[in-house]
Amino acid sequence: MNIALIAHDKKKNDIVRFATAYIKTLEEHTLFATGTTGLRIEQETGLQVHRFQSGPFGGDQEIGAMIANNKMDVVLFFRDPLTAQPHEPDIAALIRLCDVYSVPLATNMGTAEVIIKGLERGDLSWRKIVRGEKGEHHELD
Ligand SMILES: O=C(CO)COP(=O)(O)O
């Protein structure tokens, strides 16, 4: 599965802790992230992550483009609801695209945990059917 990991600045420690806790599960999948989140996860967990631009510089939109091209299976987005973001329209667009394409989206750690446990149980294998694939991973073209 292709999994996007994104966290706003005040949630970055949380996503690193989350990635550490679920490292065994996450290392079985292909990971993508916005720039700074991906760097932190790579440096602090050793997981391999495809890094896009930082969120305010287009990273959310790059992940949105993957969703629009049916290439993203799960989005784990640790949002900070208490801090104004300069790229709020990009954030709204990413969340909207998850809904347009029925891509499982967590916007906080509690839901992320439910999704990752579902992933471990195979509850998200329908995504492979949606992608018309049999394999586990979907490489970037
Ligand atoms: O701003 C973000 C998501 O909207 C996250 O971007 P960074 O991971 O580059 O901090």
Q: Where are the domains of the chain?
A: 2-68+80-130
Confidence at residue 65, expressed as pLDDT on a 0 to 100 scale? 98
pLDDT (tens digit, 0 to 9) for every residue of the chain, 141 residues total?
Answer: 999 999 999 999 999 999 999 999 999 999 999 999 999 999 999 999 999 999 999 999 999 999 999 999 999 999 999 999 999 999 999 999 999 999 999 999 999 999 999 999 999 999 989 988 754 455 555
- Whether 123 sits among the annotated catalytic residues: the reply is no
Q: Sheet of 105-106: strands edge to edge?
A: 49-51, 30-33, 2-7, 74-78, 105-106
What is the pLDDT at residue 133?
Answer: 73
Residue 29 and residue 2 in contact, taking contact as beta carbons nearer than 8 Å:
yes
User: Which class in CATH covers the domain with range 2-68+80-130?
Assistant: alpha beta
Summarize the annotated binding site for substrate as residue ranges. 8, 12, 34-37, 54-55, 87
Model-level pTM greater than 0.95?
no
Q: Catalytic: which of 9, 60, 80, 123?
A: 60
